[in-house]
């Protein structure tokens, strides 16, 4: 399995958790902090590098706040827009 990573637009996330339910390796969790809108956003909690970049989380996200990366790409990709928001580092209690 290729390794993957997701990038979450924390400010856009409304914490609905649909992505959490969709995630096969179960590496998405609610953050302990609130974003500026007062929602508790989700974050990638993946110490074992289990994320495969399957993009199911992004598929169900109502707010389009997930960007997905994968280590190796099997087929050529269409032009994709780079996200406009900065990288994601959510401080959470270990």
Query: Long-range contact list for 69-77, CB < 8 A, 24+ apart?
Result: 69/4, 69/5, 69/6, 69/7, 70/2, 70/3, 70/4, 70/5, 71/2, 71/3, 71/4, 72/2
Go through the chain and tell me how many residues it has. 94
The one among 25, 30, 45, 50 contacting other proteins by CB under 8 A: 45
Residue 6's DSSP bridge partners are: 68
Of 50 and 56, the one with the shorter C-beta distance to other proteins is 56
- 46-75 mask for other proteins (x: CB under 8 A)? xx-----x-xx-xxxxxxxxxxxxxxxx--
Of 1 and 69, the one with the shorter C-beta distance to other proteins is 69
Q: How far is the CB of 26 from other proteins (least distance, A)?
A: 14
Q: Is 26 in the site for other proteins (CB under 8 A)?
A: no
**Binding residues for other proteins (CB under 8 A):** 4-5, 7, 11-12, 14-18, 21-22, 39, 44-47, 53, 55-56, 58-73, 77-78, 80-84, 87-94
């Amino acid at each position: 399995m290729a390794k993957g990573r997701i990038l979450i637009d924390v400010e856009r996330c409304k914490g609905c958790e649909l992505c959490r339910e969709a995630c096969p390796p179960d590496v998405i969790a609610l953050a302990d902090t609130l974003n500026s809108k007062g929602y508790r956003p989700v974050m990638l909690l993946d110490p074992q590098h289990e994320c495969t970049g399957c993009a199911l989380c992004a598929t169900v996200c109502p707010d389009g706040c997930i960007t997905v990366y994968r280590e190796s790409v099997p087929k050529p990709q269409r032009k994709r827009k780079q996200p406009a928001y900065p990288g994601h580092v959510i401080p959470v209690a270990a």
